[in-house]
Structure 1
Amino acid sequence: MTDNLQDLPEAARAFLEGRRLDEVECIVADLPGIARGKAVPASKFAKQAYFHLPDSIFYQTITGDWGEAAGPDGFIERDMILRPDMTTATAAPWTGDWTLQVIHDAFDRHGEPIPFSPRNVLKRVVELYREQGWKPVVAPEMEFYLIARNLDPAHDIKPMVGRSGRPAAARQAYSMTAVDEFGPVIDDIYDFAEAQGFEIDGITQEGGAGQLEINLRHGSPVKLADEVFHFKRLIREAALRHDCFATFMAKPIADEPGSAMHIHHSVLDIETGKNLFSDENGEETAAFRHFIGGMQRHMPAAIAVMAPYVNSYRRYVPDHAAPINLEWGRDNRTTGIRVPLASPESRRVENRVAGMDCNPYLGIAASLACGYLGLMAQLEPSDEFKGDAYEGDGDFPQVLGSALDLFEGAHELHQVLGPDFCRVYGIVKRSEYEEFLQVISPWEREHLLLNV
């Protein structure tokens, strides 16, 4: 008989030292990135090799409805086999008892990975790199807002009130005083992260009122996606302890900057461990150019994954620290694709297009897929954009409907992410978009009710 709890990661063992584990949360990320699963007694988890959930969790929209994404047998909700990845076992320190959470991988009854499980999609892309002798490395940046509790969707979102008793102020980027305003929340974020074994590279105040950024250390794509998935939950829980909300909406407050998940990429040679983006003399390589070329060519179709909601596209406005095109440049934050200042060993490409509202597994998978296609086809990028890229022309979709049109026809991208995933994703997102189009907004009532 198995005992799943014999080989826990160091941080989980430290969390439980001298204590009795009560419960284990068996979780997977659905398409929006929501943690779904079941909580089971620790004694049961220790002795059970796998668990079941219906595959329909991957057909759910953000509103809780189901897209018509079932296969030829119809909507029969087959059970998936969920197997724990014990390397992901980590504390849930905000709960009332001693609880661990464990990410599970989803398989069908024949042992094949469920193709529309977001974690499996990312694993598929990473495996394509491995087959070429390459090892992708990523480092995500997470932007989010701390806001006053909002219990009525009809009301505007307001920044949280800080320690001083005043609402958070905008345009205070990198202000340590602004960070201190949120000190109690940030302290809990650090404490939760330490209990879970996550290493924070830094926390800064961003340009929006109550907007923060957390940087994570670089590492393997699946591990970093796991951490972003966990971080969203722990940040929300830390905020709730202090009577405020944390939101990862791309554009929660009008006239304030949106929240991105910037993704830094490099690719290593598996045999040598060397960065493929730098040659022996420390100069940029053809692989470096081809990766950027792939992002420029394929990101217009992939943006439906990196910007998955109608609200996502409200972020792409000039002069609000968000891109409006796919120009690339060195140390230029107005471009959609940025090459940060770095040593040859650390040379990397930053995707500034992905929003914080995207599923981290899917956002990273889509970004890596674009670079992979560029490497395989040896695509050349445009000339480097020098100057303010907001003066250039926009070259990616500005509304979700157009993005979905491009995504649904992107056959090369489908082959990398997986045709089954792309079919399900397109159906679910189209269903969400069509539901949104049926909503009559306050703007329409205010300006059209008595004027047309």
Structure 2
Amino acid sequence: MKDSDWTEALPESAQAYLEGRRLDEVECVIADLPGIARGKAVPASKFARQDYFHLPDSIFFQTITGGWGEAADEDGFIEKDMILKPDMSTATAAPWTGDWTLQVIHDAYDRKGAPIPYAPRNILRRVCQLYRDRGWEPVVAPEMEFFLTARNLDPAKAIEPMMGRSGRPAAARQAYSMTAVDEFGPVIDDIYDFAEAQGFEIDGITQEGGAGQLEINLRHGDPVKLADEVFYFKRLIREAALRHDCFATFMAKPIENEPGSAMHIHHSILDSETGQNLFSGPQGGETDMFYHFIGGLQYHLPSAIAVLAPYVNSYRRYVKDHAAPINLEWGRDNRTTGIRVPLSGPEARRVENRLAGMDCNPYLGIAASLACGYLGLIEERRPDRQFRGDAYEGDGDIPPVLGQALEMFDSAEALHAVLGEDFARVYSIVKRAEYEEFLQVISPWEREHLLLNV
């Protein structure tokens, strides 16, 4: 049972949010495979008395459409209760609610106290622990791209850009334009206000190349903490958009002929004892670990694409000359390559994975990217020669459709060993159930071009 003054141990930002106010409700949440927040909302008085709550393990067998993958273990589909325990370090405001509400991320365990192996946050923790067992501290910095669009109430209707302050639809091809950012000023103001109330530090907001497309950069840090923030950010951005009669979407490719939305992941690795960046040597040069990490990404990312690009729509983003990589070349300060080494000093040397879509679960996307780099480190893989020039001129290295990506994922034994065999089994079953459901849908393109012509 929690102490009666449990709120005094809350993170500083949560305490500041509640100062002089009475807490009404606590949302107990956990991310499912797509990254949707599942859980329960309970009165604050009840939360103060509970150390855990239950949800059925079937939340991890559910598809994005609400269907089910036959992914239960040998006990069968009996929807066993998991024990969900709060991580109070994640307690944060829900500033868009009508009353005073906190959100708390929970971790999932079975009845014996073992972590549920296909819970996304547990998977990321597992991968981080593999690094720490070797004296390495993984550090990441995610970038979040998304679109602000007009409300779309009819799935048969194409998604359109939102209306800006000027009364005109958001314009495309205005990357880094401050005028374009100003068009979304009221939405961005609420994003900043919500983020401040939740204790999140935004490194910057920029206009991207798509109509109504924005990017938010987060400060680098612990992978689990940053995945928590992306999980929370998706919700707060949606809530900010709804206040201004528009939608925020994290689809990889929501609008035809526009760039897609990525979750670029910057990676570095520190020595757990000294804090030194292990990608840089004593004289500031690039180390073997730096090259092995890149080699691991090049070799293992094709098998991980099904996690980084989890939906049929995800593969529409990998289009030549549309600001998304089509191959696994690596280069220095080259945004056409799938793996980029940004300009930096030796202390900040890092590797950027540009393949993950913003539609991926942040815990799983970061875990998969770290897993590929980890395998490169322990296998001591050497990367291909650095690419120079426009990588869009080369051939594609990425599976073109989800079905092929899942076949590669299913055969990736080394990747399964890092992410967990149970996770790999459940993820594949759920994703195949989604893919099979999609294949039953007849699209407008098929009706237009095949109905009377074949």
Common topology (TM > 0.5): yes
Relative to the length of structure 2, the TM-score reads: 0.99
Match of 1:397 in 2: 399
SS at match of 1:5: helix
1:5 CA displacement: 3.1
Within the candidate set 210, 227, 230, 2:229 is matched to: 227
User: Are 1:2 and 2:2 an aligned pair?
Assistant: yes
Tell me if the contact between 2:171 and 2:211 (Cα under 8 Å) persists in the aligned partners. Answer: yes
- Pairs within 5 Å for 1:5-404: 5-404=7-406
1:393 CA displacement: 1.3
Q: Which residue type is aligned with residue 384 of structure 2?
A: S
Counterpart Cα distance in 2 of 1:373 and 1:111:
29
Q: Which residue type is aligned with residue 2 of structure 1?
A: K
Deviations 1:189-209 (A, max 9, x none): 000000000000000000000
Match of 1:423 in 2: 425
SS at match of 2:7: coil
Counterpart Cα distance in 2 of 1:2 and 1:325:
51
Counterpart Cα distance in 2 of 1:85 and 1:428:
27
SS at match of 1:271: coil
Tell me if the contact between 2:123 and 2:367 (Cα under 8 Å) persists in the aligned partners. Answer: yes
1:2 CA displacement: 1.8
Q: CA RMSD in A?
A: 0.5
User: Are 1:441 and 2:443 an aligned pair?
Assistant: yes
Counterpart Cα distance in 1 of 2:393 and 2:244:
42
| Structure 2: 5+ residue stretches without partners | none
1:98 CA displacement: 0.2
Tell me if the contact between 2:61 and 2:68 (Cα under 8 Å) persists in the aligned partners. Answer: yes
| Identity %, equivalent residues | 81
Deviations 1:277-320 (A, max 9, x none): 00001000000000000000000000100000000000000111
SS at match of 2:9: coil
1:217 CA displacement: 0.2
Counterpart Cα distance in 2 of 1:282 and 1:98:
50
Tell me if the contact between 2:10 and 2:88 (Cα under 8 Å) persists in the aligned partners. Answer: yes
Counterpart Cα distance in 2 of 1:317 and 1:403:
16
SS at match of 1:105: strand
SS at match of 2:301: helix
Q: Which residue type is aligned with residue 16 of structure 1?
A: L
Q: Which residue type is aligned with residue 354 of structure 1?
A: A
Deviations 1:426-449 (A, max 9, x none): 000010001101111110110010
Q: Which residue type is aligned with residue 278 of structure 1?
A: S
Q: Which residue type is aligned with residue 345 of structure 1?
A: E
Deviations 1:375-412 (A, max 9, x none): 00100000000000011111121110000000011000
Q: Which residue type is aligned with residue 37 of structure 1?
A: G
Deviations 1:184-227 (A, max 9, x none): 00000000000000000000000000000000000000000000
Counterpart Cα distance in 2 of 1:367 and 1:206:
23
Relative to the length of structure 1, the TM-score reads: 1.00
SS at match of 2:286: coil
Counterpart Cα distance in 1 of 2:237 and 2:90:
18
1:230 CA displacement: 0.1
SS at match of 1:127: helix
Counterpart Cα distance in 1 of 2:329 and 2:433:
31
Counterpart Cα distance in 2 of 1:176 and 1:242:
20
Tell me if the contact between 2:124 and 2:366 (Cα under 8 Å) persists in the aligned partners. Answer: yes
Tell me if the contact between 2:331 and 2:386 (Cα under 8 Å) persists in the aligned partners. Answer: yes
1:73 CA displacement: 1.1
1:6 CA displacement: 3.7
Deviations 1:91-135 (A, max 9, x none): 000000000000000000000000000000000000000000000
Counterpart Cα distance in 2 of 1:196 and 1:46:
20
User: Are 1:406 and 2:402 an aligned pair?
Assistant: no
SS at match of 2:130: helix
Counterpart Cα distance in 1 of 2:177 and 2:430:
41
SS at match of 1:47: coil
Counterpart Cα distance in 1 of 2:245 and 2:278:
47
Tell me if the contact between 2:14 and 2:92 (Cα under 8 Å) persists in the aligned partners. Answer: yes
Counterpart Cα distance in 2 of 1:334 and 1:437:
32
Tell me if the contact between 2:7 and 2:15 (Cα under 8 Å) persists in the aligned partners. Answer: no
Q: Give 4+ residue runs of structure 1 displaced > 6 Å after superposition.
A: none
Tell me if the contact between 2:312 and 2:435 (Cα under 8 Å) persists in the aligned partners. Answer: yes
Counterpart Cα distance in 1 of 2:83 and 2:95:
27
Tell me if the contact between 2:26 and 2:103 (Cα under 8 Å) persists in the aligned partners. Answer: yes
Q: Which residue type is aligned with residue 352 of structure 2?
A: E
Tell me if the contact between 2:8 and 2:15 (Cα under 8 Å) persists in the aligned partners. Answer: no
1:30 CA displacement: 0.1
1:80 CA displacement: 0.4
